[in-house]
Structure 1
């Protein structure tokens, strides 16, 4: 019998495996921990052999650029990115908290000899108790007063921007924080999904469709010249200066095709034995293109957006029919514009019998499509789309790298505003929530009788990593500040006369502790709860692993071929 040692290899010692997993996750956390908070530092990511460079302090952007090879580290990265995809913020919290839980959980297993099952059960219980305490004692439900709602979401947006280039405390543009926070709030409020009977209600508990917010980055000018524009803006010029400057009302055709001659595809060749017929072939190709244009014009479209090129003969025909057109539109922009106008992207004009006919059912509608000049750029403005109310955020900045970071920060702010408005609930930021939960869990662990109390107590200590990291990144005495913050929260949960201290967090500008709610440092409750859940699940998933089996690629490919052959045989 052939030896199976060449099939799989394994790491037999579970302590070696678990230690390697913990160290790999710690390495990921060390990459982003210094970028956490309003005084976080940027990371410069460069690709060898390429000109692409990303400069960012955004944890999700950094993680997306990394090529993580270790399987345990990949689990942590996937959990963090799931937080970003679901709620749009809190990615760094997931990574930092999960790595600290892993470090402390591993110490319990190795140094004290606690069984991994007890550590896992203790972490899960601590997470459930912490979330329950957060919702009952820390979360603040917004008042139905419209003015109060505006103030809350502005503070939440400004908090999100405090760690971004648009409002970082360590950036010379920190005075722009309120400017972009208001822009983010205005942009989100316009995407509210309104029912016929609640047009004048306070926008709490409603859904917001952020797909209607389009961010357009235009290099040049200062960042304060950014603006929120009513309508969907496409950064594409007209196909010809002879075309109309305005179409109202607009019927828009969205085409993912080319309206110019193209070479043969898939290696096909064309052979002509009679040179005199080459002109007929070219004329036939142009005739086909003109027939396509005629079918588009016949449908009633007066604006055409095409991802490919447009032949000069087709341009002439469109100009005569008073149709505005833009060519080489990116497919992403085409799909977004189609969604805003209630249209559908057409990938072919061929019907069921092979004739070239444009389906008018795919037309989008808008009150107006006009060519406008915004500062130094000529753009196409789509106003009054059929679906919802589209808004475009025009971001201006010195270069592409700065604009990319501005866009990431603005998206985070809109996500935070959406989360606060949809749930109507928020918690104090600046480490106040984590410290309050830490003190609560520490008191809970002291009255527990099972060995799970060790894991619950370590979970409580892990939560203090968040305020500690904020203080360290600000250049302050982290030990002193965290100790003061802990003593205040302990007093708040022990004596009723100190109840006003339960929302106290770090004031990094002054190097003191202060009431985060009064200072307007707010975070969405949903974001904080989900970050706790993802961090705990990541730590538990990795701590459960005691063996790693490495399967050679050749075995995987052979198994895939066998499965494919079996499927064909069954079919």
Structure 2
């Protein structure tokens, strides 16, 4: 105790902390290091922003290759260790969980906000001045400047109209996988409409978990289609391959003779004993299968193995049998058919049985699949499946992420149908208004507010750069258009190579969801302010020994 109380003042903070600790403080030691780390992650994801964004090839610790332009997937796969950069990663994950889209805007805008602070610090501003200015600009942006932009675009009026959903979903899909939005948007809209409640009263709503994707390698994306029901990526176990208006029973266990809990020994003295033992086992299995068939069941689904004896009697009584190994797939089938997964082998009660209008086995892309489909307007099905076709597994995975973002966008639109101009139009208009607001603010805050306005230009500038346009010409033309009252003017990514084109369209056809945009801007501002409020970093010695302490430089 006496030794631990002997504090060496000459050693500074190192003499107070346990051996192996590291501490950095001050503007140079902590704040600027954090800003540099956040700039690095922002630089990585920024080139993936927009329809012309580039893909990143990430090989994770398991050796899995991920090729994607989706920001949330990229930052998750990078396994970021720096604590400040982790804040941007967590903000992107929060945006992905809440809205499913706008994750790149979060990281890019937060990184640009922090990049602007370097010049402010060189001018002599204190971090508290920058935080104060950014807070004022953020509040003004979200409360006063952004809401009027939603009045420029007709909002989504009816969430149960397919054309309205397609209008909202198409820009989201184009930003993820340009060229496929005309094919995928109607599929996403149809799948979402298939899971919505049939009641016409109240706002439209559905669960994103109710829209699933079945990926089948081969073919072309134009061969993708929607199934109102469940698609199992394996064939039936029986020779019968189709049934209509069928009752379905789902077993969470296998369909086989159950093993005894205690070990037992059967003494057989002759061949007759062996024959009678087998006959008794067969008789018992036949009784179980017969009771299932007598209850009216046409389809048996097993969550485990199906014995040959059980399969023989299932065939004899004219039923279909499907084996599903995944418990998650089993749950989805239960949702699609309205069945209850049983943990016992026996005849189900009417409440435990599900119903399906059509079950059939088809061959898609050279592999057998089993389709449980419900008719239009069926009250049983609460699940829709998009059967996705593509040439390679990496394209399939990227298309699945794009569809997931589209489904989230449809759900967000059903909750809040307000829209704002996209293609950098909203950000450019906000930048001009924030700069005008800075001219009305006295004190040192005005410099931070003006830097905030400049940071908003990162979206149109990046869209122009990723499209191969001259960003200085595009920004000048876009700023002039907005100063002239064209509030919906945005970046024209199709202007590349056109002689005399400014890269700006006066009335953009790209639309963004207001809720997604507001959420992304708020999370980016909060993440940047959190990083700027850090003035000291203290790291404990890493456990395990033998490794290099601290992963941050």
TM-score bracket relative to the smaller structure: 0.7 to 0.9
**Within 5 A, what are the aligned runs for 1:22-41?**
22-41=35-54
Following superposition, the deviation at residue 537 of structure 1 comes to 1.1
Q: Does 1:123 align with 2:112?
A: no
Instruction: Determine the C-alpha separation between the residues in 2 that align with 1:536 and 1:144.
Output: 28
Residue 234 of structure 1: which of 212, 226, 232 is its match? 232
**Within 5 A, what are the aligned runs for 1:141-540?**
142=154, 153-165=165-177, 168=178, 174=179, 176-197=180-201, 205-241=203-239, 243=240, 245-248=242-245, 250-260=246-256, 297=293, 300-346=296-342, 348-349=343-344, 361-374=351-364, 376-384=366-374, 386-388=379-381, 390-492=383-485, 501-511=486-496, 512-515=502-505, 518-540=507-529
Question: Please, what TM-score do these two structures have when normalized by structure 1?
Answer: 0.81
Contact 1:35 1:58 in 2 (8 A): yes
CA deviation profile, 1:512-552 (whole Å, cap 9, x unmatched): 34447x44211111111110011111111221222223234
DSSP-derived class of the 1:476 partner = coil
Q: Does 1:134 align with 2:146?
A: yes
DSSP-derived class of the 2:205 partner = coil
Instruction: Determine the C-alpha separation between the residues in 2 that align with 1:177 and 1:430.
Output: 16
Contact 1:215 1:392 in 2 (8 A): yes
Instruction: Determine the C-alpha separation between the residues in 2 that align with 1:452 and 1:264.
Output: 77
Contact 2:337 2:354 in 1 (8 A): yes
RMSD between superposed Cα atoms in Å:
3.4
Gap change, CA 1:459 and 1:519, over 3 Å in 2: closer
Instruction: Determine the C-alpha separation between the residues in 2 that align with 1:469 and 1:74.
Output: 23
**Within 5 A, what are the aligned runs for 1:17-166?**
17-47=30-60, 50=63, 52-108=64-120, 110-132=121-143, 133-140=145-152, 142=154, 153-165=165-177
Instruction: Determine the C-alpha separation between the residues in 1 that align with 2:268 and 2:433.
Output: 89
Question: Please, what TM-score do these two structures have when normalized by structure 2?
Answer: 0.83
Moved more, 9-18 or 523-532: 9-18
Instruction: Determine the C-alpha separation between the residues in 1 that align with 2:155 and 2:75.
Output: 37
CA deviation profile, 1:405-439 (whole Å, cap 9, x unmatched): 11112222233333334322111111111111111
Contact 1:216 1:394 in 2 (8 A): yes
State how many pairs are aligned.
Answer: 519
Following superposition, the deviation at residue 206 of structure 1 comes to 2.3
